[in-house]
Amino acid sequence: MTSRRRADYRGVAVAVPVTIPYVRYSTKSAHWWIARALAGLLEGAGISKADVDGVCVSGFLLFPDTAVGLMQHLGVTPRWLDHIPMGGNSGVVALRRAARAVQAGDAEVVACLAGDTNHVDSFRQTVASFSQFARDAVYPYGSGGPNASFAFLTDYVMRTTGITREDYGKLCVAQRTNALSFPHALFKKPLTLGEYLSARPIAEPLHLFDCVMPCAGAEAFLVTTEERAKSWSLPFARILGTIERHNAYPEDPIQYRGGWAMDRDDLYAQAGVGPEDMDLVQVYDDYPVISAMQLEDLGFCPKGEAQAFIRSHTFNNEGSFPLNTSGGQLSVGQAGAAGGYLGLVEALRQLTGRPLGVAVPDAEHALVSGFGMINYDRGLCSGAAVLSRGSVA
Amino acid sequence: MTAPLQRPKRKNPVVKTRHPTLPPWTRSRVALGMTAAAAEGRFELQRCEQCATVQYPPREACCRCLSEELPWVEIDGLGDLISQTTLLHSHDLYFRERVPWRLGMVRLDAGPTVVVHLHGDVTAPPARVRVACKLDKAGMAVLVGFPQEDVPNMADDRQLREFTCDPKFRRVFVTDGKTATGQAVVRALAAAGAELIWVGHAEPWKRVPGLVDLQALPQVTLLPLDVTDPRSIKEVASQVGPKVDILVNTAEYHRAYGISTRAGTDIARMEMDVNYLGLLRLAQEFGPVMKARGADGQSSAVAWVNLLSIFALSNFPAHGTYSASKAAALSLAQCLRAEMKPAGVRVINVFPGPIDDEWNQLLPPPKLSPQAVANAIVAALRDGLEDVYPGDVAQEWRTRLKESAKGFERELAAGSGT
C-alpha cells in the first residue's frame, strides 16, 4: 500500500530526560505531577515556558481535563498540542508525533510530558472503567484487572513454549539488580530467584513479583531541532526509526504476538541497524511475559524461543544484553501513563552519558519499545523506536 | 470433581450476617442484549446480517464489514479452552470475598474469544468446553464455561451456585398450597431437595383435597395464611421470614369473564386483592428480611418466584379482569426486582399459558398440567432464569407478541389466543 518512501528523522534532537521521583501513593493530582515534569524539563534545558511552542501530554487521571485544559492550568500557550491516551505506548508515539511536528516546522521545541497520580483507591477505579469492552466483558469476571489478562497469556505461553517461571524470574531479578543503582526506583532491596518463586500468588501462574506496582510519578523529554539543542548546549540523541501499530492480528485467538512482529522489518530498515547493533534495550515490562514477547517480536530471537534467549544472556547494565537499565516498571513502579515514558527517558540518559545508575558501557544504539491499552483481551497499541547517541554531556 | 453439596450447619448466632455485595453491574447499552437472552436461559451473540461474522464483546458495528445490522442469535457455546487462571486477588469487594476464583479464555467454534467464569470440573487447557450465558448476582449476563459433558454434582460447583438458585438444602415458602399448582410446586421442591417447605393455606377450616397428603411430606409445615389480610401476613413473616431462602408466590384468584359479561366489581376487586395487593403485602413483609440475608452463607436468600400468567402480557378478553390483575402484578414484580437487586435476590416471573385446572375448564387444550408448571419453576431456580414462559400457548403468545403486538391484540379480540 505504501509506495512513498518514508522520510527519515534527520535534524531532530531528543534531549533533557526528566524523571520526577516516584511515590507509592500521592495525595496530589495528575496535574501536579505533570506540572513538576514540565518544570523539571525547563530547568534541565535552562529555558523558559515561552521557549516551548509545542506540548504533548499523556495521563490517565487528568479527567475531566484533557491536554487543552492543562495548558491553561500550567499557563502555557503552545502553537502545537497533542494528547496521547495510549498508556504504555505513549512515549514512543509522543516521540514520533513530536519529531514530525518539529521537522515540518509546526513546532520547534516540543515538551513531551507524561504523569499520573496514585491515590489509595484510584487504580481500582481506573481498572473498573478502563474501556467499554473491559466494563462489559472483563471486569465482571473477577475484577482482577490486568493481572488476570496477563495471567491468561502467561498460562498460554508457558504451556505452548515450555518457558518457565524460573525464566521469567531471571528477567525480574536482573531488573531489580539494575534498579538498585537507580535512585528513583521504589524497590530498593535485592530480589532473589527464590523470593520471586515463593512470592504469594496473585492470579495463577502470576505471583507478586510478576506484577507491576501502581504508583505516582512523571517523566518528560524534549524534542527539538539539532540546531536548537546545540545552541542551548543540550546533549541529545537522534531518532533512527520508529513504528507504531494498533489492534494488530485481531484474528489471533490469544495475543501470543504483538504489532512489533508486523513492523520490525520497517523499523530496522529505517534505522539502518539491526537488533544485533543495540547496546541496550528498554522493553515495556508490565509483566515479564510481555518483555519476552517483545524480545521475540523485535527480532532478538526467533518466535517461541525466548526461553533459550533468556538462558543464554545476562540482563544487567554491564551484562551481555542490558535490558530495562533503570529497573523497568517491575522495579521502579508503574506511574500510569508515565510507565510508557520510563524506558525512553532512561534510554536518553544512557545515550547522552547521564545515567543516574550504572552506565551501560559505550552505549551507542538503544531500542525502546512500548505497549499499551488492554481494551478487552489484549494490548492494542505497540510501538518501538531506535535511538542513537547524538552529542554527549 | 465437584464435591456434593452438604446440608448447611446451623448458623452461628454470634457471627455477624454479611452485607450482600454485588459483582460489577455497569454495562454498555448494547451489551444488555446478552442479558435479555440470559434472562430466559439463552446464550446469544451478535451475528452480522451482512457477512455472518459472530462478534464479542457486543459492538455498535460489525468488526468485519461495519454493518449496523447486528441481530442477536443463539450460539451453541461449544469451544476450546485455550488458557486459564485462578484469581487470588481482586479489586472488587464481591470477588474479594470469594477468591480463589477460576476464569478461562475460550475460543468459541462460532469465532470470537470469550472470557468466562470457569466451572471447577473443566480440565486444564486445552479442553473442549460448553459456554452458557447466566445472570450473575447483579442480574447481569455473564459467560460460564462448563465441561462439554455433564458430570456428577455439577450444579454444586461453588462458583456456579453464585449464578443459580438451586432449591437443594434451601428453605422455601410457598404462599398457597391449596391450589393444584401450589401443591405440585411443593412436591417438586421436595423432590429437588429443599430442606424445609412452609406452605401457606387460607381459610384452614376448609378441607381441600391433597393438602393432608402434603403434610405427610417430612419437609412440609402448613401455616395459615391469607394474603388479603395484612395481619395474617405479618404473623407468618414474623415466624418464618428470617429463614426463607426462596419464596414462591402461588396465591392467586382466578375467575373467567371480562367487563360486560359480569355485573359489579366484586370479582375484579378480589382478583386485584389477591393477585396484585397480595404480592404487594408479601413484598412489604418478606422483601426487607430477605434482602438482609442476600449473603448469609451457603443458603442465603436467593429467589422470589411470582406465578403470573401469559395473560399478563396482553389482555385475554375471555378472562379480562384476571388478565388485568396479572398485568398489575407483573408491573409490581418489576418494581420488586429493582428493589431486591442490591441484595442479589433474583425475582423470577413465571408466565404459564392456561393451566389445566377448574378455572380454565372451558378453554380448549393444550393446557399445562400443574406438574409442568411446577417443573418449570424448579428448572428456572436451578438454571438461574429470570423470565419463564412454560408451555406451548405461552411460547406462541411470546412469538406472536414479538411479531406484532397490535396484530395479536386484534386476534385476541376476535376470540383467538388459546
Whether residues A154 and A278 share a domain: the answer is: yes
Q: Is residue A7 part of a domain?
A: no
pLDDT computed for residue A363 by the predictor: 97
A84 found inside a domain: yes
Q: What is the pLDDT of residue A97?
A: 98
To test the contact with chain B by mutation, choose from A123, A125, A143, A289 the residue with the greatest count of B C-beta atoms within 10 A, namely: A143
User: Region B337-345: what's the mean pLDDT?
Assistant: 98
For chain B, give the percent of residues with pLDDT over 90: 91
Suggest the residue from A152, A210, A213 to mutate for an interface test with chain B (most B CBs closer than 10 A).
A152
Same domain, A307 and A171: yes
Average pLDDT, chain A: 96
Which chain B residue has the Cα nearest residue A144?
A: B90
CB < 8 Å to A137, chain B:
31, 56-57, 114-115
ipTM for the complex? 0.94
Whether residues A374 and A254 share a domain: the answer is yes
Let me know whether A294 and A364 are in one domain.
yes
Q: With a cut of 60, say whether residue B395 has pLDDT above it.
A: yes
**Above pLDDT 70, what percent of chain A?**
99
Beta strands (DSSP E) in A117-215 are: 201-203, 206-207
Residues of each domain in chain B carrying CATH 3.40.50.720? 171-413
- Whether residue B82 lies within 8 A of chain A, CB to CB, comes out as yes
Comparing CB atoms, the residue among B27, B113, B136 nearest residue A377 is B113
Q: What is the mean pLDDT of residues B213-219?
A: 94
| Residue after which a domain boundary falls, among A161, A196, A231 | A231
Residue A1 lies in a domain: no
pLDDT tier, B286 (very low <50, low <70, confident <90, very high otherwise): very high
The residue-averaged pLDDT of A339-349 equals: 98
Q: Is A4 contained in some domain?
A: no
Let me know if residue A6 belongs to a domain. Answer: no
Taking CB atoms and an 8 Å limit, are B24 and A135 in contact across chains?
yes
Q: Cβ contacts (< 8 Å) between B134 and chain A: which residues?
A: none
Q: What tens digit of pLDDT does each residue of A135-175 get?
A: 999 999 999 999 999 999 999 999 999 999 999 999 999 99
Q: CATH code at A335? A: 3.40.47.10
Q: Which among A388, A329, A315 is positioned nearest to A358, based on CA atoms?
A: A315
**Best A126, A133, A141, A207 residue to mutate vs chain B (most B CBs within 10 Å):** A141
Q: Structural domain tally of chain A?
A: 2
Locus of grid cell 515490562: A285
Cell numbers standing for residue A124: 481500582
Partner B contacted by A124 (CB < 8 A): yes
Chain B stretch 41-70, residues whose beta carbon is closer than 8 A to a beta carbon of chain A? 56-58, 63
Whether residue A92 is found in the same domain as residue A112: yes
The reply to whether A3 falls in a domain is no
> What's the topology of domain B171-413?
Rossmann fold (3.40.50)
For residue A204, give how far its alpha carbon lies from the nearest alpha carbon of chain B (Å). 5
When pLDDT is averaged across residues B366-384 and rounded to a whole number, the result is 97
Domain end point (choices A173, A196, A231): A231
Considering only CB atoms, A143 lies closest to which of B56, B95, B142, namely B95
Q: Bridge partners of A23?
A: A216
DSSP-based three-state secondary structure for A155? helix
> Distance (Å) from the C-alpha of residue A248 to the closest C-alpha of chain B?
14
pLDDT in tens, A173-206: 999 999 999 999 999 999 999 999 999 999 999 9
**A142·B101 Cβ contact <8 A:** yes
Q: How confident is the model at residue B417 (pLDDT cuts 50, 70, 90)?
A: low
The answer to whether residue A1 scores a pLDDT higher than 60 is no
Beta strands in chain A (DSSP E): 12-23, 54-58, 80-83, 109-116, 201-203, 206-207, 216-225, 236-246, 280-282, 365-374, 379-391
Which residue, among B228, B252, B244, has the nearest Cα to B300 in the 3D structure?
B244
What domain range is A30 assigned to?
12-121+216-231
Indicate which residues of B carry an active-site annotation. 322, 326
Tell me: the pLDDT tens digits for A257-295? 999 999 999 999 999 999 999 999 999 999 999 999 999
How near does any CA of chain B get to the CA of A205, in Å?
7
What is the DSSP-derived secondary structure letter of residue A374?
Answer: E
DSSP B368: B
B234 pLDDT more than 90: yes
Question: Are A29 and A94 members of one domain?
Answer: yes
